[in-house]
A and B are shown apart, each in its own frame.
Chain A
Amino acid sequence: MSLLDAQSLTVRFGGDAVLEDVSLSLEPGEIVTVVGPNGSGKSTLLRALLGIQPLASGRITRKTGLRLGYVPQKLHIDRGLPLTVRRFLSLPHGHAAGEAARVLARVGMAGMEARQLVGLSGGQMQRVLLARALLARPELLILDEPTQGLDQPGEAAFYKLIEEVRTEMGCAILMVSHDLHVVMSASDRVICLNHHVCCQGTPHVVSNAPEYRALFGVGTRGALALYQHDHDHAHDHAHDHGHGPGHDTGHDPDHDRGQDHDHDPEHGHGARDHA
């Protein structure tokens, strides 16, 4: 049974449809990533699914009693509000101190319980928000650009954590991300959104779809090629998160270059795009 099922959602802000006829459904344990340009309605879609954003039309069915964890794109804390990390994590429902400490350690914020929320850096705030979402023991985690502001190791650790959380808690994850190359390797399914669902499916299918190419252009070809290269050759796992921008020029010397080119499916796509 689906955790959440959305049928033809339409959301308007003063006449303009920001989301039009968007349907999607989320199954237990899957990692789904929403990609799309700025202003394409990604955050709006997440907020609509959470029941925050009123719908102009459409219907959302949730599994009864579905436990949600949510990390918003940004959270502003008023300076007038004194709030420790510990207290923030316990809202609205308290947890045992040990549990909060354990989750904080997992997101790389061990021992930060007594820190004031207003004093945290952007990346630290992001980690605390994730910790709070995890404490809800969610069946569905909804993350809006969760890696913004994270440093490189933090970002790699984040995707590793997401994978672990999925395995341990069996929760589904719906996230928005702009790190296209990571998205492609970390997701089971990708939804490409630009006010409507342009295309969706496995990363492989989406990255080959002309709609996706039209949105993200040739700039992403390198990243996609990399991703496909990874999967075609079944790299060891530790490697997946280490791809820096320079990777496609600096191949590992122990790789067979010839095989690389034979397998590179990207070369054939130019023609297929027009079909």
Chain B
Amino acid sequence: MTPNTAMEPATMLEPFLLRAVLAGLGLALAAGPLGCFVVWRRMAFFGDATAHAAILGVALALGFSVSIYVGTLSMALLMALTVSALSGRGWAADTMLGVLAHTALALGLVAISFVPGVRVDLQSYLFGDILAVSWRDVILVWCGAALVLSGLAWRWSGLLTATISEDLAQASGINPAREGLVLTLALAVVVAVAIKVVGALLIAAMLIVPAAAARSLSRTPETMALFAALIGVLAVLVGLWGSFHFDTPAGPSIVVAAAAVFILSAGLGGMLRRG
């Protein structure tokens, strides 16, 4: 490869756009497979609660002037662990998660308004600001993604067995609580790295929509995880392209693109099954 041809794409892609694409791709690759578990285990609300807690994390990070990543990761982790602990106590899971999710979001918004001095751009934390990510953000996204993917790969078989049935898992010598903890940690990491990319309100969409789109195309859990990652990648590319061309907000554009793939794949899956 000569330097000349290597330069070409770089000149076509503005550096900020390149960073946006890379950050989006890193997030999509991790969120797809993790999102499959969120779908299989019916943890959508759980994902929401964890993501919304990130706003509270942002408020705390601004208030105590620490890194946004530290704030969101710790709040997401705290929320995820709290929910896991409470869910064993016979609460109506839906109701409890709804209360927690919205409380965390509202509390976060209120708390941010108390942060003195800085005029905070709330919108960028709610919906992300992928076009403003730095190289440091890109590296953190990819580190987080690598961590999540290697964690899932490492525990894959146990995670899957525990997802199908905790009883069967336990009879096979697998500890379902430990596998659940792996997912909880992975979720917190994804939330932390996604906050700047798609924002707290759309993290759950990045988890669920590509996985749901992959469902109708897949016959095994592994292909579904792979398709979810690929669909996420496609959504990031199409969404960013659309955002650039039509001057629409980037995060929501990515989610809209993912939703479009979902509709297409649902139709395609239906046709495949009939024909």
Q: Which residues of A contact B (CB under 8 A)?
A: 47, 50-52, 68-70, 72, 75, 77-78, 80-84, 87-88, 91-93, 114, 116, 136, 142
Contacts and interface: CB of A to CB of B under 8 A. Distances in A.
Interface of B: 39-42, 157-158, 160-161, 163-172, 174, 212, 215, 218-224
A91 B42 CA distance: 20
A92 B163 CA distance: 11
Contact of A136 (B160, B169, B172, B223): B172
- Nearest first, the 7 A-B pairs at minimum CB distance are A70-B171, A92-B161, A92-B157, A82-B218, A81-B40, A52-B170, A80-B39
A82 B223 contact: yes
Contacts of B168: 70, 72, 75
Given A47-B167, A50-B171, A72-B167, A82 B215 contact: yes
B158 A84 contact: no
A51 B170 contact: yes
Contact of A92 (B39, B158, B215, B222): B158
B54 to A, nearest CB: 25
Given A75-B165, A92-B161, A93-B157, A81 B221 contact: yes
A82 B221 contact: yes
Q: In terms of DSSP, what is the predominant structure of the interface of chain B?
A: helix
A78 B40 CA distance: 6
Given A92-B174, A116-B219, A81 B165 contact: no
B169 to A, nearest CB: 7
Contacts of B161: 91-92
A134 to B, nearest CB: 13
Residue among B39, B171, B220, B223 with max Cβ neighbours from chain A (10 Å): B171
Contacts of B220: 82-84, 87
A147 B163 CA distance: 25
A80 B157 contact: no
Residue among A47, A68, A80, A142 with max Cβ neighbours from chain B (10 Å): A80
A128 B223 CA distance: 22
Contacts, number: 70
Contacts of B212: 80
Contacts of A83: 164, 220-221
A68 B172 CA distance: 7
Nearest to B37: A81
Contacts of A92: 157-158, 160-161, 169, 172, 174
Nearest to B159: A92
B160 A91 contact: yes
A199 to B, nearest CB: 28
Contacts of B219: 82, 84, 114, 116
10 contacts: A52-B171, A70-B168, A75-B168, A80-B39, A81-B39, A81-B221, A82-B221, A82-B224, A92-B160, A142-B171
Nearest to A94: B157
Contacts of A75: 164-165, 168
B172 A52 contact: no
Contacts of A136: 172
A93 B212 CA distance: 27
Contacts of B215: 80, 82
Given A82-B218, A82-B221, A88 B167 contact: no
Given A52-B171, A68-B172, 12 more contacts: A50-B167, A51-B171, A70-B167, A77-B164, A78-B40, A81-B221, A83-B164, A83-B220, A83-B221, A84-B220, A88-B164, A114-B219
Contacts of B223: 82
B171 to A, nearest CB: 4
Contacts of A68: 171-172
Given A91-B161, A92-B174, A93-B157, A80 B167 contact: no
A93 to B, nearest CB: 7
Given A70-B171, A93-B157, A78 B42 contact: yes
A199 B212 CA distance: 52
B167 A52 contact: yes
B173 to A, nearest CB: 8
Residue among B157, B215, B218, B220 with max Cβ neighbours from chain A (10 Å): B220
Nearest to A117: B164
A83 B220 CA distance: 5
Nearest to B174: A92
Residue among A51, A82, A93, A116 with max Cβ neighbours from chain B (10 Å): A82
A240 B174 CA distance: 39
A91 B164 contact: yes
A209 B224 CA distance: 55
Contacts of B165: 72, 75
A69 B168 CA distance: 9
Contacts of B160: 91-92
